[in-house]
Chain A
Amino acid sequence: MQDYTSDILELVRITSTDLPLPVEKRLRDALEKEEPGSAAHGALETILKNVEMTRKNGTPICQDTGTPIFYVHYPVGINPGELKEQIRSAVAIATQKSYLRPNAVDSLNGKNTGDNVGDDYFPSIHFTEVDGEMLTIDLMLKGGGCENVGAQYSLPDNRLNAGRDLEGVRKVILDAVYRAQGEGCAPGFLGVAIGGDRGTSYSASKEALLRKFDDVNKDEKLNELEERITKEANELGIGPMGFGGKTTVLGTKITSTYRLPASFFVSVSYMCWAYRRRRMVVTKDTVTYE
């Protein structure tokens, strides 16, 4: 099998240092809406200056380069075990090159491995076999600040008077945004999953964040809910960094999955403004990045 280590290293470099343009555009639109001279306006100006600087200098957008989360779709002929080792080596080299901060910490003794290579869960790598000949690797770098404000609700939630329907789902998502305040580095993006068990529900909420930035939910009701959540979350007035302001959430993606009759989970993954996500596509001998 071919060695993709250096191509994966490049994927890590781009993801950590070059914010996707659609995210930057939303930040620029948010800047337009804030009052010049306000703390919110200043925060967005600083954020945008930083985005330009890291693209130019090839330095990390944020020092918390997070959990590297890889989603690999591989064709027949690729050995996932070998690819996993290549990903782990690429992550270690990227750490040495300061594209990533050493983030893998042993939960029992507090020791940092120094190279972002921990156990089977760190870095996090998901493999799916696909038809055809194309190999794609998606990488998301998700920092601890926004990961910590993620939330999972079990409906019905009596405290919020949220039942087992889309109205209940709406209530708990807004509660999650309220609880996060600015701590997830607002303005953020919401990935939401309805259903699943506790584990699959959180996983699906992260995968919702892999959807194209400007796509439309195929389910009409969910599409409506996504738009409504973004609008109402912004009415909360939490604003950039929680300084108060007009933009709190830049986008919402909701997915629905099967559940047990007894369970009704809603999982919210909060992604900070530094929505670092890139894709590497390998066809025959060419490697491209999106």
Chain B
Amino acid sequence: MTTNLQLPIKDNAIKKLNVGDTVNLSGVMITGRDAVHKWLDDTFIQKTRTATEDDLLIYEAIKPILKGGLIYHCGPVVSGLQTKDYRFVAAGPTTSTREEPYQGDIMRHFGMRGVVGKGGMGAATLKACQELPAAYFHAIGGAASLIAESVKKVIYVYKLEFGVPEAVWAIEVENFPVVVTMDSHGNSLHDTVREHSKEVLERLIS
């Protein structure tokens, strides 16, 4: 059975989710990957660099989306770059582990309810999922056009100087299909699969 979740997501809705559940997400989220996570961490969490006026403007714009919301690890193909009539053409998830050093802190800082990506994340993010509570929503890697169809509107884009794939795209999605692979109860499907496959591997190469 598939759960329909509207963003922003409430605590109790997250607590009801378990590893393996299929979910359709609807509402507003932002995309962010390597450059965005590093920028958020450096500027607003570690504060190793001073926030510019532009940074503060973007911070205020994304804060309400991230409160109870999600970051989607995605570097989309976008049409209408010249006319600024942006449309997502292909928008599957990118590998999430690269954001592992930042993700837990960013989720806590903004009071997020999780992230959407692929490949799962590590212990620090899983811990943040338990504390907040939050969840890791796994999108289907490579299913880029199908996911782009669920993106109904591009609301705005910031940090386009990071490049199209690395920019902050605020998007409205409808019935974006995902699977919960890390829940707020400390379970990770990725850990289970890794442990099982390790046992098999040891048998096969012994």
Q: Is the CB of B196 within 8 A of A237?
A: yes
A62 touches B179 (CB 8 A): no
Interface pair A241/B141, CB less than 8 Å apart: yes
Question: Is the beta-carbon distance between A236 and B201 smaller than 8 angstroms?
Answer: yes
Task: Let me know if B141 and A63 touch, CB within 8 A.
Answer: no
List residues 167-212 of chain A with CB under 8 A from any CB of chain B.
Answer: 170-171, 174-175, 178, 181-183, 185
Stretch of A69-77, A96-104, A216-224 that contacts chain B? A96-104
Is the Cβ of A175 less than 8 Å from the Cβ of B201? yes
Contacts A178-B201, A243-B179, A244-B189 given: A185-B141 contact, CB under 8 Å? yes
Give the contacting residue for B141; candidates A112, A145, A238; CB below 8 A: A145
* Distance, CA A47 to CA B143, complexed state (A): 5
Give B171-185 as 1s and 0s: 1 = Cβ < 8 Å from A's Cβ atoms.
Answer: 000000101010000
Q: Are A61 and B204 in contact (CB under 8 A)?
A: no
Contact B197 A236 (CB under 8 A): yes
- How many whole Å from A116's CB to the nearest CB in chain B? 11
Say whether A2 faces chain B, with CB atoms less than 8 Å apart: no
Does A150 reach chain B (CB closer than 8 Å)? Answer: no
Question: In the bound complex, do residue B145 and residue A39 qualify as a contact, i.e. CB atoms below 8 Å apart?
Answer: no
Asked whether A114 is an interface residue with its Cβ less than 8 Å from the other chain, the reply is: yes
Interface stretch (choices B40-48, B71-79, B128-136)? B71-79
CA–CA, A105 and B79, complex, Å: 19
Q: Which residue of B lies closest to A273 (CB)?
A: B142
Residues on the B chain within 8 Å of A171, using CB: 205
Name the contact of B92 in the complex, choosing from A63, A170, A244 (C-beta under 8 A). Answer: A63
A residues whose Cβ falls under 8 Å from a Cβ of B? 39, 42-43, 46-47, 49-50, 53-54, 57, 59-65, 98, 100-103, 105, 110-112, 114, 143-145, 148, 160-162, 170-171, 174-175, 178, 181-183, 185, 232, 235-239, 241-244, 272-274
From 143 to 181 in chain B, residues with beta carbon under 8 angstroms from any chain A beta carbon are 143-149, 162-166, 177, 179, 181
Mark interface residues in B87-101 (1 if CB within 8 Å of A CB, else 0).
001111011010000
Indicate whether B186 reaches chain A with its CB closer than 8 angstroms: no
Contact across chains for A59 and B145 when beta carbons are under 8 A apart? yes
**Given that A174-B205, A241-B118 are known contacts, is A183 also in contact with B97, CB under 8 Å in the complex?**
yes
Contact with B144, one of A39, A63, A105, A244 (Cβ below 8 angstroms): A63
Main secondary structure of the interface of B (DSSP, over half): mixed
Given contacts A42-B179, A175-B201, A185-B118, 9 further A-B contacts (CB under 8 A): A50-B147, A54-B144, A61-B142, A62-B141, A183-B97, A241-B138, A243-B193, A244-B189, A273-B142
Q: For the side of the interface on B, what is the size category? A: 35 or more
Residues from chain A with a CB closer than 8 A to the CB of B177 are 42, 46
Give Cα distance in the complex from A244 to B192, angstroms: 9
Given the known inter-chain contacts A59-B89, A63-B76, A145-B119, please indicate yes or no for A238 contacting B143, CB distance below 8 A: no
What B residues does A54 contact at CB under 8 A?
A: 144-145
Question: Are A60 and B145 CB-contacts (below 8 A) given A145-B118, A174-B205?
Answer: yes
Do the beta carbons of A239 and B22 come within 8 Å of each other? no
Interchain nearest-CB distance for B73 vs A (Å): 11
Complex Cα gap A244–B97 (Å): 18
Contacts of A49 in B (CB 8 A): 143, 146
Contacts of A65 in B (CB 8 A): 77
A148 contact set on B, CB distance < 8 A: 95
Q: Which residue of A lies closest to B20 (CB)?
A: A39
Complex contact A101–B164 (CB within 8 A): yes
Whether A62 pairs with B140 at a CB distance below 8 angstroms is no
- Would B95 and A145 count as touching, CB distance under 8 A? yes
A50 touches B144 (CB 8 A): yes
A-B contact pairs, 15 of them (CB 8 A): A42-B179, A43-B179, A50-B147, A59-B145, A62-B92, A63-B148, A98-B89, A145-B95, A145-B118, A181-B190, A183-B119, A232-B204, A239-B193, A242-B119, A243-B138
Give me the 6 closest cross-chain CB pairs, A-B, nearest first: A112-B163, A63-B90, A185-B141, A50-B143, A50-B146, A60-B90
B194 within 8 A of partner (CB):
yes
Q: Is the CB of A59 within 8 A of B95?
A: no
A39 pairs with B194, CB closer than 8 A: no
Check B179–A98 contact: CB distance below 8 A.
no
CB–CB A39/B22 < 8 A: yes
A241 CB contacts on chain B under 8 angstroms: 118, 138, 140-141, 179
Q: Are B89 and A103 in contact (CB under 8 A)?
A: no
Cβ–Cβ contact B89 & A60, under 8 A: yes
Q: A101–B77 contact, CB under 8 A? A: yes
Residue B114 at the chain A interface, CB threshold 8 Å: no
Q: Which residue of B lies closest to A167 (CB)?
A: B205
Docked pose: A170 CA to B144 CA in angstroms: 33
Chain B residues within 8 Å of A60, by CB: 77, 89-90, 144-145
